[in-house]
């Protein structure tokens, strides 16, 4: 207990790499308009306003700005899906960050709300989006306060609202609070929620709300981090952006590393070229597994991603390579677990998350995730049955049929199954619940079996510690 | 006569004016009702239904989907302990057990004095600062049982524990129901203008007239 007043949400760790979205983070007043303007704030917007809207869009497309919410779809391409001649069009910002292990959008909203607002305005200008809804997770009270303050400042100073900076651009940005539901991070569920409904994903097609979105109108839904990159691209250009990272994953990205590392943190990292090993063991990053312990496994891309192991350390943080190895980079959330971790307990806890957060629309997910949780809970309680391991896999197969994405297990001669999973559901929530199960059963089946056969030494009767049962 | 008191009624009208369709204001207005009363009462839902052109059943149908809305009285301080994997690895479950045993309630329960409600929650986005808990959505990072006891003692004694947090909040922890204490306010002369989608006939002013043909 230090008792010291810390002006910022903790977690961000500076490293010497290039900075796109965290350049203001070291300043204690990074969230104010004054600091923003003193450090190049709204210059990206000014640059954009000197170009034609389609030129702005082309810049973002050329930068190959990949969406940072989880799916990694190129934002510039997504922006191009609005049908012609259909007005109005809307922008919805997904700030409902809830994926287990993910802690980056909250930082971006708390520490640099003006950067996000600027990104929103540029997107609105490029595509003719006439109103923006900034959907912030309900539990993030400080982010709500910081964004409200920033919007009030920006409206007063002429950056948001009617005739932005004296131009024809007129956009209202509406701050909207969520109310606690992971599924609302799915973009069509987000739109349902914004329309005042239960946050349940819509049936596809259409696959993108750019076709039919909010109030049935063309709607661009972008993640907070995605839009936070846009001002930099406007001031420095797409070519400069592509100089960072790799050909297929350019730019930088925020990775949240939590769990059993010496220095957990949110790091801005060049995509594609940095490896998991760099991140976990590098001096500038996590500085190794916590003292004296060894890596057992890690979750590479948020709670929805299949788990990785020591042999994956040299993979680069690059979507295609991680996908081929059986997982995904998802939301850039990495959870590191050392050898003291109980694989069955960790698996149960992650599955419990999906069971609690299932919206209930599709039966395979509504029923299946709860079955999975119940079976894992009874295994943990010492009531597991020998058939439970197969039953878990069978329930998973009903949510995501066929081979489920999973890492290779060389000792057993098992090859990787590449990402993504198939699904019998509208959205990926249900299929995601299968990831912890197949990942841990393939690798640590013996831990499940030990729990089931009670070979871990739990006495048959806790009431008779002397072991005189039936004597 | 509105169910909302005068100051909340004024905020409610501002909220409604920010959406092209009134039903979009259901969730913000539920938050506002919870700010005024600490929980969502049936009368509040009837009022919100009248303001948004929906029914009380629709308001309950939407509201009951979301965990933050409480349809029964809860403690003045809602303590959320994260037990998802990042926190579990570093003692989140033990922290929850400690909270339950020291306050004498199971997760979901409220202490007899009406001060504390304890909840076992999912990831709250503070994973690098595990284990963590929040009180009325204000964060306490890298918390151990001592942190928890000190925060509870502060609140019982009427002191603000926020200085023990790492969240950037100042001042006191507001009573349950109040989220952001700063609200968006758009001056009339700065408003771009919110219009129902059916009243929009063409592209906005800054888009070139030929945009439709040029785009491909």
pLDDT tens sequence for chain A (471 residues): 333 344 566 899 999 899 999 999 999 899 999 999 999 999 999 999 999 999 999 999 999 999 999 889 999 999 999 999 999 999 999 999 999 999 999 999 999 999 999 999 999 999 999 999 999 999 999 999 999 999 999 999 999 999 999 999 999 999 999 999 999 999 999 999 999 999 999 999 999 999 999 999 999 999 999 999 999 999 999 999 999 999 999 999 999 999 999 999 999 999 889 999 999 999 999 999 998 899 999 999 999 999 999 999 999 999 999 999 999 999 999 999 999 999 999 999 999 999 999 999 999 999 999 999 999 999 999 999 999 999 999 999 999 999 999 999 999 999 999 999 999 999 999 999 999 999 999 999 999 999 998 655 454 444 444 444 443
Tell me if A349 and B130 make a contact (CB, 8 A cut-off): no
Give the closest residue to A380 by CA, choosing from A446, A304, A447, A463.
A447
Taking CB atoms and an 8 Å cutoff, what residues of chain A touch B18?
Answer: 172, 174
Taking CB atoms and an 8 Å cutoff, what residues of chain B touch A131?
Answer: 20, 192, 194
Instruction: Specify if A18 maps to a domain.
Output: no
Taking CB atoms and an 8 Å cutoff, what residues of chain B touch A361?
Answer: none
Q: Is there a single domain that holds both residue A97 and residue A110?
A: yes
Report H helices in chain B.
6-17, 26-37, 42-52, 56-63, 85-88, 92-103, 145-156, 211-214
Task: Identify the helix (H) or strand (E) that includes residue A266.
Answer: strand A265-270
Question: Which residue in this structure is represented by tokens 């409600």?
Answer: B117
Q: Is there a single domain that holds both residue B20 and residue B59?
A: yes
CATH of the domain at B145: 3.40.30.10
Backbone angles phi, psi at A405, to 5 degrees: -55, 130
Q: What's the CA gap between B125 and B123, in Å, rounded?
A: 6
Tell me if B18 and A341 make a contact (CB, 8 A cut-off): no
Residues B129 and A10: beta-carbon distance below 8 Å: yes
Q: Is there a single domain that holds both residue A81 and residue A212?
A: yes
A153 exposed, middle or buried (CB, 10 Å; 0-12, 13-18, 19+)? buried
Residue B213: what pLDDT?
46
CATH of the domain at A333: 3.10.20.600
Q: Which residues pair with A245 in a beta bridge?
A: A250
Residue B215: what pLDDT?
46
Tell me if A258 and B130 make a contact (CB, 8 A cut-off): yes
Taking CB atoms and an 8 Å cutoff, what residues of chain B touch A193?
Answer: 27
Q: Is there a single domain that holds both residue A332 and residue A375?
A: no
Residue B89: what pLDDT?
97
CATH of the domain at A148: 3.40.50.11540
Residues across chain B: 216
- Answer whether B34 touches A (CB < 8 Å): no
Q: What's the CA gap between A218 and A88, in Å, rounded?
A: 7
What distance lies between CA B73 and its chain's CA centroid?
15
- Answer whether B70 touches A (CB < 8 Å): no
Residue B163: what pLDDT?
77
CATH of the domain at B12: 1.10.10.1590
Of A155, A169, A258, Cβ closest to residue B187: A155
Tell me if A345 and B88 make a contact (CB, 8 A cut-off): yes
CB neighbour burial string for A18-39, b if at least 16 within 10 angstroms, e if fewer: eebbbbbbebeebbbbebbeee
Give the closest residue to A172 by CA, choosing from A133, A228, A203, A137.
A133
Taking CB atoms and an 8 Å cutoff, what residues of chain A touch B20?
Answer: 131, 215
- Answer whether B5 touches A (CB < 8 Å): no
Q: What's the CA gap between A199 and B62, in Å, rounded?
A: 8
Residue B162: what pLDDT?
82
Hey, is A441 helix, strand or coil? helix
Instruction: Specify if A1 maps to a domain.
Output: no
Nearest CA distance, B57 vs chain A (angstrom): 12
| Segments of chain B scoring below 70 in pLDDT | 165-169, 210-216
Give the closest residue to A111 by CA, choosing from A270, A261, A224, A271.
A224
- The number of domains in chain B is 2
- The C-alpha R_g of chain A, in whole angstroms, comes to 23
Residue B214: what pLDDT?
46
Question: Which residue in this structure is represented by tokens 């995730």?
Answer: A369
C-alpha pair distances (Å), A431 with each of A97, A99, A195, A330, A405: 19, 14, 26, 14, 10
- Answer whether B209 touches A (CB < 8 Å): no
Q: Is there a single domain that holds both residue B44 and residue B90?
A: no
Q: What's the CA gap between A338 and A322, in Å, rounded?
A: 21
Q: What's the CA gap between A5 and A32, in Å, rounded?
A: 19
Q: Which two tokens stand for residue B64?
A: 């009951």
Give the closest residue to B95 by CA, choosing from B81, B108, B85, B107.
B81
Residue A8: what pLDDT?
62
Among B45, B172, B181, B182, which would you mutate to test the A interface (most chain A Cβ atoms within 10 Å of its Cβ)?
A: B182
Residue A70: what pLDDT?
87
CATH of the domain at A359: 1.20.1440.230
Tell me if B88 and A346 make a contact (CB, 8 A cut-off): yes
Enclosing domain of residue A290: 252-338
Instruction: Specify if B190 maps to a domain.
Output: no
Of A3, A106, A179, Cβ closest to residue B27: A179
Q: What's the CA gap between A299 and B86, in Å, rounded?
A: 10
Nearest CA distance, A128 vs chain B (angstrom): 6
Instruction: Specify if A26 maps to a domain.
Output: no
Enclosing domain of residue B13: 6-63
Nearest CA distance, A325 vs chain B (angstrom): 23
């Amino acid at each position: 207990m230090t008792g010291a007043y810390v002006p910022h949400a903790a977690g961000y760790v500076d490293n010497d790499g290039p900075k796109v979205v965290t350049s203001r983070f070291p300043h204690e007043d990074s969230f104010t308009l004054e600091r923003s303007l003193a450090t190049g704030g709204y210059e990206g917007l000014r640059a954009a306003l000197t170009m034609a809207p389609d030129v702005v869009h082309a810049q973002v497309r050329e930068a190959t700005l990949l969406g940072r919410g989880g799916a990694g779809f190129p934002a510039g391409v997504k922006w191009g899906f609005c049908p012609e001649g259909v007005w109005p069009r809307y922008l919805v910002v997904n700030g409902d960050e809830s994926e287990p292990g993910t802690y980056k959008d909250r930082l971006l909203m708390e520490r640099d709300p003006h950067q996000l607002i600027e990104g929103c305005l540029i997107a609105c200008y490029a595509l003719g989006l006439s109103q923006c809804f900034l959907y912030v997770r309900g539990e993030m009270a400080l982010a709500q306060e910081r964004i409200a303050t920033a919007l009030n400042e920006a409206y007063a100073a002429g950056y948001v609202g009617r005739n932005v900076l004296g131009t024809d651009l007129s956009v209202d940005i509406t701050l909207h609070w969520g109310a606690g539901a992971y599924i609302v991070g799915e973009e069509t569920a987000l739109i349902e929620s914004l329309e005042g409904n239960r946050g349940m994903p819509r049936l596809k097609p259409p696959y993108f709300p750019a076709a039919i979105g909010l109030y049935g109108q063309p709607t661009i839904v972008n993640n907070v981090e995605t839009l936070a990159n846009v001002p930099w691209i406007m001031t420095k250009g797409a070519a400069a952006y592509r100089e960072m990272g790799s050909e297929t994953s350019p730019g930088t990205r925020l990775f949240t590393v939590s769990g059993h590392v010496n220095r957990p943190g949110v790091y801005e990292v060049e995509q594609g070229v940095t490896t998991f090993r760099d991140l976990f063991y590098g001096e500038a990053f996590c500085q190794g597994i916590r003292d004296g312990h060894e890596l057992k496994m890690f979750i590479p891309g948020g709670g929805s991603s299949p788990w990785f192991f020591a042999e994956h350390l040299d993979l680069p943080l690059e979507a295609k390579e991680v996908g081929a190895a059986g997982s995904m980079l998802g939301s850039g959330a990495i959870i590191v677990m050392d050898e003291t971790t109980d694989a069955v307990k960790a698996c149960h806890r992650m599955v419990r998350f999906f069971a609690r957060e299932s919206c209930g629309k599709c039966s395979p997910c509504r029923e299946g995730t709860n079955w999975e949780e119940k079976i894992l809970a009874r295994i943990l309680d010492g009531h597991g049955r020998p058939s439970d391991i197969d039953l878990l896999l069978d329930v998973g197969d009903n949510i995501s049929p066929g081979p489920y994405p999973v890492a290779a297990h060389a000792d057993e001669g098992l090859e990787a199954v590449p990402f993504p999973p198939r699904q019998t559901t509208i959205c990926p929530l249900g299929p995601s619940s299968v990831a912890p199960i197949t990942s841990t059963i393939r690798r640590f089946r013996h831990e499940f079996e030990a729990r089931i056969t009670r070979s871990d030494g739990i006495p048959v009767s806790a009431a008779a510690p002397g072991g005189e049962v039936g004597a | 006569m509105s169910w909302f008191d005068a100051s909340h009624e004024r905020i409610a009208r501002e909220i409604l004016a920010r959406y092209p369709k009134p039903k979009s204001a259901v969730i913000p207005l539920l938050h506002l009702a919870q700010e005024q009363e600490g929980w969502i009462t049936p009368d509040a839902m009837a009022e919100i239904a009248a303001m948004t052109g929906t029914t009380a059943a629709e308001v309950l149908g939407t509201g009951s989907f979301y965990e933050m809305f409480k349809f029964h009285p809860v403690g003045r301080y809602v303590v959320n302990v994260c037990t998802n994997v990042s926190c579990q690895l570093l003692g989140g479950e033990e922290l929850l057990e400690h909270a339950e045993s020291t306050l004498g309630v199971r997760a979901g329960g409220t202490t007899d004095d009406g001060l504390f409600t304890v909840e076992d929650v999912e990831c709250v986005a503070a994973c690098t600062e595990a284990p963590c808990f929040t009180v009325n959505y204000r964060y306490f990072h890298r918390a151990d049982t001592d942190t928890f006891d000190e925060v509870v003692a502060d609140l019982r004694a009427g002191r603000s524990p926020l200085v023990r947090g790492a969240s950037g909040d100042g001042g006191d922890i507001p009573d349950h129901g109040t989220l952001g204490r700063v609200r968006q306010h758009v001056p009339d002369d700065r408003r771009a203008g919110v219009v129902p989608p059916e009243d929009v006939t063409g592209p906005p002013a800054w888009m070139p007239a030929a945009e439709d043909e040029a785009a491909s």
